Structure 1
Amino acid sequence: MMFRQLFDHASCTYTYLIADPVINAAILVDPVLEQVDRDLKLLDELGLTLQFCLETHIHADHVTGTGKLRDIAGCLGIVPQGAQASCADRYIQDLELLELGKVIIQALATPGHTDNHMAYMVNGNLILTGDALLIRGCGRTDFQGGDAGTLYDTITQRLFTLPDTTLVYPGHDYRGFTASTIGEEKQWNLRIVGRDRDSFVQFMSHLDLPDPKKMMEAIPANEECGRVSVVV
């Protein structure tokens, strides 16, 4: 398997390239519109054909590159089942498998940050957690159907029940971290460690975070797979 972690500085978003080099086919997870040229260049350099763009959720902080990549590369856009994105080519359900040669990706429903959010387990030993579980943190829960109690259940009952050695690759990072493990997060993620469900809900309700700068632009654009006209 080929695996690359790519970063968009403006939104602190990680995009992931996953590929089977034997069949020269690739998947991009959570592509960013402003980074489409970078991603296409990398695919070309590696001799890969883009088969799928896979979203963890409808993002509020950046516009997805899926629509543009689909137009240029002819790939399919995949979003979680239930997400408000009528433009998608395919909707992926909890526990559904997406196979690309010897790469097997399993969708895991991880709601809470948004009401329709998926994490993706790759070949059974690494997980792309999107905005549900961050390194030493977690996603906010104050819009897009987010719910703090649901996120607590998602993290403690689904993600933290994975093997401790499972590698964690988040959708964002704001402090320079790139990867973690489930074992590390169970020990050091202070959003969760030492809190029961009620205290987590109370803590999340007092974060008082500003709205993402691109939210008014990004959400409607992403409901159209990034096709709404934006200035790049």
Structure 2
Amino acid sequence: MLFRQLFDEDSSTYTYLIADRTLKQALLVDPVLEQVEGNYQLLDELGLTLEYCLETHIHADHITGTGKLRTMTGCSVIVPENAPVTCADGFMGDKQVLKLGSIIVEAIATPGHTNSHVAYFINQKILLTGDALFIRGCGRTDFQSGDPGVLYDSVTQRLFTLPDETLVYPGHDYNGNTVSTIGEEKQSNPRFVGRDRLQFITLMNNLNLPNPKKIKEAVFANQKCGNV
């Protein structure tokens, strides 16, 4: 399996490229519109055919590149079940599996940041957590039908029950971190360690963060696969 972590500096977004080396077929998770040309060039350099673009959720901080990549490559766009998207080719619900040669992608429903959010568990080793779980943090819950209690349940009951050695690759990082493990986050994530559900809800409801600068244009565009 080929695995690459790609980064959009403007939105601090990670995009993930995963490919079957034998079949030369690939999928991208959470591509960013401004990085599409670079993504396409990398696929060409590696001799890969893009089969799927997967979204973990409808993003509020950047415009997705899925629609443009579908136009360029003919790939299929897959989004979480019940996401308010009119342009998808398919949906992934909890425990549903997508196979691409030797790559097995299992969707784990992790609502809370938004009400339609999934993490992708790759070959039972790599966990792409989207905005549900960050390295020493987690996604916000104060817009897009976010719910801190639901997010607490998603992380503690679904993600923290995975093997400790599971590699955690988040949808964003603002501090230069690239990878963690479930074991590390259970022991050291300050959003969760030492907090019960009610304490977590209180914390999340009092973050008082500014809205993402692209929220008005991004949510609308991403419901159309990035077509503004």
TM above 0.5, one fold? yes
Q: Distance in 2 between matches of 1:91 and 1:161?
A: 24
Task: Map 1:44-193 onto structure 2 (within 5 A).
Answer: 44-193=44-193
Shift of 1:192: 0.2
State the Cα distance separating 1:209 from its structure 2 match: 0.5
Residue type matched to 1:134 in 2? F
SS in 2 for 1:134: coil
Q: Letter of the 2:133 partner, please give it.
A: L
How far did 1:86 drift?
0.8
**In 2, distance between residues paired with 1:120 and 1:186?**
19
RMSD over aligned CA atoms reads 0.4
TM-score, scaled to structure 1: 0.98
What amino acid maps onto 2:67 in structure 1?
G
Q: Using the TM superposition, give the Cα deviation of residue 136 of structure 1 relative to its aligned residue in structure 2, in angstroms.
A: 0.1
Unaligned runs of 5+ in 1: none
Shift of residue 214 of structure 1? Answer: 0.3
User: How many correspondences in the alignment?
Assistant: 228
2: CA distance between counterparts of 1:50 and 1:118? 21
- Matches of residues 23-42 of structure 1 in structure 2 within 5 Å? 23-42=23-42
TM-score (norm 2): 1.00
SS in 2 for 1:220: helix
Letter in 2 for 1:196: D
Q: CA deviation at 1:220?
A: 0.3
What is the Cα deviation at residue 85 of structure 1?
0.4
Deviation at 1:43, TM superposition (A): 0.1
CA distance in structure 1 between the aligned counterparts of 2:66 and 2:200, rounded to whole angstroms = 34
Q: Report the AA paired with residue 157 of structure 2.
A: Q
**One-letter code aligned to 2:16:** Y
Aligned equivalents of 1:29, 1:130: Cα separation in 2: 9
Equivalent in the alignment of 1:217:
217
Trace 1:188-203 onto structure 2 (pairs within 5 A).
Answer: 188-203=188-203
Give 1:62 deviation, angstroms: 0.2
The runs of 4+ residues in structure 1 deviating greater than 2 Å are: none
Distance 1:217 1:185 in 2: 33
Residues of 1 paired with 2:125 and 2:75: CA distance?
26
One-letter amino acid matched to 2:58:
I
Q: What letter matches 1:112 in structure 2?
A: G
How big is the shift at 1:155?
Answer: 0.7
SS in 1 for 2:116: coil
Counterpart Cα distance in 2 of 1:202 and 1:123:
36
Matched to 1:97, the amino acid is V
